[in-house]
């Protein structure tokens, strides 16, 4: 342990970089996952609208994962940005701009701007105050959209919006084929960006914020600027998710701004697993397929099971479904006696 | 770099009715090895918190290299070369030492907000991080999650994180706290092997270590500077012996 | 009297009554939060359960309204102790997120459970005649129900302050809120103090939920609807368990909500949310919080 001692092994230095390369490498299950999403299109043609909703919602959950799972910032009002995106696309279409891709971009930009504004408030507070502030922003926006019914349609939602064919060629058909493929492609592209964020220097800084918020400033990290950046990025993604949903169902419900949705998406993420990229997708699939299958159930009772699921996840799993899968995979490996060194 | 690295003037801090820092005037010359001692609850950690900006002082000023930094937020002080460690490990449990030190180096090199470039491409930074861990003797554990490291290695990592900011003033809050006696000596070898242009202020309860490694000592009692001087003078001082050395350290 | 004065007095009367009710309901949350740093978002579920206890006793057992109130208090206190022992206790050291998720889970289960047992529709109770009349004093007329809220709220508030400031147990609570470790150090059984405080606080929530049925409304969405109110009281009052702060915040909230509904009904809850955001921006640790 002597500092005077010269750096004895300079040879393993390349292995240091290899650590980070290995992290960012594609895993075997990743192509499978996306192939599965393509297979859905061919195998479940009657469930395309559900698939589209799952994809858009998963993207929304992914945006929350970036701030919560990676950055460690708990938000009870993330649907603020989802709603801003949905209403941006919806209002643009309603007032004559119906080209879907530019609507998507506009939604992302406006949501990012909203995220930037909110970040000023959010990075100042922690704990209960943070919960309250995120919740408060959400509530204010919900009330505003509700009251401004002349523009937003209030509680009836934004109805009768239409988008022009994609690239001027593909109509949004009744069966939802165009919508599904369009959503899948956009979600995949945005996922690639999120994946890059996670394995970038900023991704490491985010994990540092999650692991030890207090230590970061003592190491020279400007938490406010970090917070502002992650909120901009996350809000942009949430906004794109909102716009995708608005475009594929040609409708914006006031619900897209409801606190309930913020809690729903939080639930999905937790059930899926935080900080593991695919947790949001797994969570969205589990949650929405279950809800679809139990649709006959009174929605009031549905929430009993959701609540129970939350309690069980918190008490018994380390990190949702993905965490449980990883744990059991590790267990199987240990059983076979060729587990990784501890 | 010669002259004064860090100085405080008339520093005060109270928690409610409890006065924890009272009129502390302190000077740390560049390159010094300075020990801060005092009984439990004397206000040593609080003094460091004031220096780093973790707590705002009630009155007084703090100067780093002759520049008033009293109003600067903690991260800006770090950028000016002031770093610290914690009495109780304040690490990143799920990160590996390599990741943690790389994180700090990314901050220092101003690339920490690059969000589209893969981290693996910052080869020079990562290798610098690894070299620091090797230099401090924990290179073999660089790839293991911090939570799984032995406690002694975690203490070294505390210092590694601070060093990764390239400080020229380093504040160590009981670096050997909780480390068995034979290892704490080695830890201090690491500290004394630090480049001579880094001024080090360390808090330490073990008097052997203090007298072995400090060139100057400040004794803090109830938030006030009781004495300051070279080790020999402090060891001889009757009052210091009475309030501090004479009475057993109530740990 | 000019109508404007009458209006102001009316708002003051209703607002203070509402504020007192809010304080009684949320003071337990404020103290337990300060003591254990545990964010029990499901506090409103206790209040709701108190309300349903009262409606059930009145409908199916023919009890009188006032007689049901103590039962609500005791029952909810008992239920909360069970919950604390079984679930909450293991979460005190947990991450904040886990506390949020667990208590949100409980909110959901209580909402669904209430809908299952009592149905989704709002509950109304027929108050006894002497609580439905209006009295007039000089030029000012008020409902006896409002007067009851005000009276019970005032008595309970005084009792809470007396209990906290003047009794030995209150001193133990204050010590534990101030610094748990120091309290443990001087031999206070913080866990027991906490359990009792938690039970009384939850019981008060249940009592408030029962007492306020005709003012607050009662249906399965109650825990979510009033969650924001409770959070506002504890966070604006200061999340370090400041009881005076909680009282001030509750009165402020009661008054501004009542005034808003009276003078600018079309804005709804908007004003409250905006004011709350501004306060949080200005003083993130609450108006009366410690830094
Ligand atoms: N944030 C705080 N709020 C209130 N009191 C505090 C706070 N931080 C420290 N104190 C009190 O201030 C006094 C000085 O604490 P400090 O940690 O600075 O002492 P110290 O000299 O580092 O002691 P030790 O040798 O035990 O580490 C103690 O009585 C402590 O309880
Ligand atoms: Mg200390």
What are the tens digits of pLDDT across the range C46-83? 999 999 999 999 988 888 888 999 999 999 999 999 99
* Chain C contact probe: residue of A257, A310, A313 with most C CBs at under 10 A: A310
A334 occurs within a structural domain: no
Mean pLDDT estimate for chain A: 87
Task: Compute the distance from residue B100 Cα to the ligand 2 centre, in Å.
Answer: 24
Quick check: C106 and A307 CB within 8 A? yes
| Residue range A248-282, pLDDT digits in tens | 988 899 999 988 899 899 999 998 999 989 999 99
Is residue C285 included in any domain, yes or no?
no
Domains and CATH numbers, chain B: 4-89+166-245 (3.40.50.300)
Helix/strand/coil for B14 = strand
Atom of ligand 1 nearest to the CA of B223: 14
Q: How many domains would you assign to chain C? A: 1
Contact, C223 vs C109, CB < 8 A?
A: no
Total domains, chain A: 1
C283 in any annotated domain: no
Cross-chain CB nearest to C109 (options A128, A143, A307): A307
| C170, two tokens | 């209150």
Q: Is residue C288 included in any domain, yes or no?
A: no
Phi, psi of C133, deg, nearest 5: -90, 160
H helices within C37-127, ranges in order? 43-61, 65-86, 96-118
Instruction: State which residue of chain C sits closest to A318, comparing Cα positions.
Output: C98
Residue nearest to atom 24 of ligand 1 (CA): B40
The residue of chain C nearest to residue A143, with distances taken between CA atoms, is C270
Distance separating alpha carbons of residues A310 and B201, to the nearest angstrom: 48
| Domain that residue A74 falls in | 41-257
Residue appearing with tokens 């220096």: B51
Q: Which residues pair with B62 in a beta bridge?
A: B8
Task: Give the domain extent around C18.
Answer: 3-227
3-state helix, strand, coil in chain C (%, to 5): 75, 5, 20
Write down the H helix ranges in C186-242.
Answer: 190-211, 213-216, 222-225, 227-237
Note whether residue C241 is domain-resident: no
Strand B216-221, strand B224-229: pairing: antiparallel
For residue B248, the SS3 value is: coil
Structural domain includes residue C197: yes
Per-residue pLDDT averaged across C133-144, rounded?
A: 80
Task: Please report residues of B whose CB lies closer than 8 A to that of A20.
Answer: 102, 118-120, 126
DSSP B81: T
- Answer yes or no: do B107 and A4 touch at CB < 8 A: no
Interchain contact, B134 vs A222, CB within 8 Å = no
Query: ipTM of the predicted structure?
Result: 0.91
Query: Counting beta carbons within 10 angstroms of the beta carbon of residue C117, is it exposed (0 to 12), middle (13 to 18) or buried (19 or more)?
Result: exposed
CB A60 within 8 A of CB A244: no
Pick C287 or C272 by higher pLDDT. C272
Predicted pLDDT at A11: 46
Residue that the structure tokens 């003037």 belong to: B9
Query: What's the predicted TM-score (pTM) here?
Result: 0.88
Residue B2 confidence (pLDDT): 62
Taking only the tens of pLDDT, chain B with its 251 residues reads 468 999 999 999 998 888 999 999 999 999 999 999 999 889 999 999 999 999 999 999 999 999 999 999 999 999 999 999 999 999 999 999 999 999 999 999 999 999 999 999 999 999 999 999 999 989 999 999 999 999 999 999 999 999 999 999 999 999 998 888 888 888 888 888 888 889 999 999 888 889 989 999 999 999 999 989 999 888 888 888 887 655 544 44
Q: Structure tokens of A116?
A: 């930037």
Is C125 within a domain? yes
Q: How confident is the model at residue C153 (pLDDT cuts 50, 70, 90)?
A: confident
Atom from ligand 1 closest to the CA of residue B55: 1
Q: CB contact, 8 Å: A308 with chain C?
A: yes
Report if residue A299 sits inside a domain: no
Ligand 1 atom 10: residue of nearest CA:
B15
Put simply, the answer to whether C116 touches A74 (Cβ < 8 Å) is no
Q: Which residues of chain C neighbour A128 with C-beta distances below 8 Å?
A: 33, 39, 231, 234-235, 239
Residue A13 within any structural domain of the chain: no
For residue A249, tell me if it sits in a domain. Answer: yes
Please indicate whether, in this complex, the C-beta atoms of B113 and A229 are within 8 angstroms of each other: yes
How far is ligand 1, taken at its centre, from the CA of residue B208, in Å?
Answer: 24
Task: Please name the chains neighbouring A, where neighbouring means 3+ C-beta pairs under 8 angstroms.
Answer: B, C
Q: How far is A226 from chain B (nearest CA, A)?
A: 7
Q: Tell me whether residue C42 is in a domain.
A: yes
Chain C partners within 8 Å of A313 (Cβ)? 101
Average pLDDT over residues A222-243: 95
In a domain, C281, yes or no: no
Question: Are the beta carbons of A8 and A1 closer than 8 angstroms?
Answer: no
From CA C107, how far away is CA C253, in angstroms rounded? 23
β-pair type (B18-29, B4-15): antiparallel
The answer to whether position A67 is within a domain reads yes
């Amino acid at each position: 342990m002597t500092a005077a001692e010269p750096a004895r092994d300079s040879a393993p230095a390349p292995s240091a970089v290899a650590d980070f390369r290995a992290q960012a490498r594609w895993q075997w299950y990743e192509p499978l996952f996306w192939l599965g999403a393509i297979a859905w299109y061919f195998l479940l043609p009657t469930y395309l609208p559900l698939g589209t909703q799952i994809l858009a919602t998963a993207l929304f959950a992914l945006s929350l994962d970036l701030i919560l799972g990676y950055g460690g910032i708990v938000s009870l009002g993330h649907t603020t940005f989802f709603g801003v995106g949905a209403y941006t696309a919806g209002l643009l279409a309603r007032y004559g701009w119906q080209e879907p891709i530019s609507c998507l971009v506009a939604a992302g930009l406006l949501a990012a701007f909203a995220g930037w504004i909110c970040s000023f408030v959010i990075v100042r507070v922690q704990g209960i105050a943070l919960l309250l502030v995120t919740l408060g922003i959400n509530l204010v926006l919900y009330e505003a959209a509700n009251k401004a019914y002349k523009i937003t349609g209030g509680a009836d939602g934004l109805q009768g919006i239409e988008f022009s064919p994609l690239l001027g060629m593909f109509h949004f058909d009744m069966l939802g084929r165009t919508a599904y493929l369009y959503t899948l492609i956009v979600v995949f592209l945005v996922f690639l960006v999120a994946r890059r964020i996670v394995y970038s220097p900023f991704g490491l800084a985010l994990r540092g914020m999650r692991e030890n918020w207090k230590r970061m400033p003592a190491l020279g990290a400007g938490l406010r600027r970090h917070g502002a950046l992650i909120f901009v990025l996350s809000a942009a993604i949430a906004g794109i998710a909102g716009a995708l949903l608005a475009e594929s169902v040609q409708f914006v419900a006031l619900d897209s701004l409801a606190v309930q949705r913020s809690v729903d998406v939080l639930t999905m993420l937790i059930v899926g697993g935080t900080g593991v990229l695919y947790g949001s997708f797994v969570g969205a699939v589990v949650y929405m397929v279950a809800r679809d299958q139990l649709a006959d159930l009174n929605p009031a009772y549905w929430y009993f099971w959701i609540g129970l699921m939350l309690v069980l996840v918190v008490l018994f799993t380390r990190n949702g479904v993905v965490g449980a899968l990883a744990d059991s995979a590790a267990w199987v490996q240990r059983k076979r006696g060729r587990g990784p060194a501890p | 770099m010669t002259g004064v690295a860090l100085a405080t003037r008339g520093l005060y801090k109270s928690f409610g009715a409890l006065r924890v820092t009272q009129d502390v005037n302190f000077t740390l010359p560049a390159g010094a090895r300075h020990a801060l001692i005092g009984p439990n609850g004397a206000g040593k950690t609080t003094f460091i918190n004031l220096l780093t900006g973790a707590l705002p002082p009630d009155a007084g000023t703090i100067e780093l290299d002759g520049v008033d930094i009293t109003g600067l937020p903690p991260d800006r002080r770090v950028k000016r070369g002031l770093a610290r460690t914690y009495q109780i490990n304040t690490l990143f449990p799920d990160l590996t030492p390599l990741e943690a030190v790389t994180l700090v180096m990314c901050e220092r090199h101003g690339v920490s907000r690059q969000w589209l470039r893969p981290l693996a491409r910052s080869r020079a930074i990562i290798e610098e991080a690894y070299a620091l861990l090797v230099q401090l003797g924990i290179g073999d554990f660089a790839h293991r999650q911090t939570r799984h490291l032995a406690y002694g290695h975690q203490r070294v990592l505390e210092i590694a994180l601070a060093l990764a900011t390239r400080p020229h003033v380093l504040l160590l809050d009981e670096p050997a706290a909780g480390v068995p006696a034979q290892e704490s000596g080695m830890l201090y070898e690491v500290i004394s092997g630090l480049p001579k242009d880094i001024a080090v202020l360390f808090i330490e309860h073990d008097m052997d270590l203090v007298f072995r490694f400090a060139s100057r000592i400040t004794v803090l009692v109830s938030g006030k500077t009781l004495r300051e001087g070279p080790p020999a003078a402090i060891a001889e001082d009757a009052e210091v012996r009475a309030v501090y050395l004479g009475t057993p350290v109530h740990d | 009297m000019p109508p404007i004065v009458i209006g102001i007095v009316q708002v003051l009367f209703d607002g203070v009554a509402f504020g007192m009710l809010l304080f009684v309901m949320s003071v337990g949350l404020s103290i337990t939060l300060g003591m254990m740093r545990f964010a029990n978002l499901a506090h409103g579920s206790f209040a709701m359960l108190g309300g349903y206890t009262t409606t059930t006793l009145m409908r199916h057992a023919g009890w009188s309204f006032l007689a049901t109130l103590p039962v609500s208090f005791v029952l909810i206190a008992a239920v909360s102790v069970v919950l604390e022992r079984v679930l909450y206790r293991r979460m005190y050291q947990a991450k904040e997120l886990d506390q949020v998720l667990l208590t949100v889970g409980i909110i959901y289960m209580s909402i669904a459970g209430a809908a299952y047992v009592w149905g989704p529709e709002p509950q109304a109770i027929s108050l006894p005649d002497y609580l439905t009349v209006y009295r007039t004093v000089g030029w000012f007329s008020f409902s006896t129900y409002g007067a009851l809220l005000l009276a019970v709220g005032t008595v309970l508030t005084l009792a809470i302050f007396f209990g906290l400031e003047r009794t030995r147990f209150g001193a133990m609570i204050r010590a534990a809120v101030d610094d748990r470790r120091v309290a443990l150090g001087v031999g206070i059984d913080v866990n027991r103090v906490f359990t009792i405080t938690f039970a009384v606080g939850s019981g008060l929530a249940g009592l408030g939920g029962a007492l306020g049925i005709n003012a607050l409304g009662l249906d399965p969405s109650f825990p979510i609807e009033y969650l924001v109110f409770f959070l506002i009281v504890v966070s604006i009052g200061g999340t370090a368990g400041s009881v005076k702060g909680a009282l001030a915040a509750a009165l402020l909230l009661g008054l501004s909500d009542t005034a808003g509904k009276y003078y600018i009904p079309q804005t709804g809850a908007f004003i409250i949310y905006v004011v709350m955001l501004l306060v949080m921006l200005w003083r993130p640790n609450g108006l009366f919080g410690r830094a």
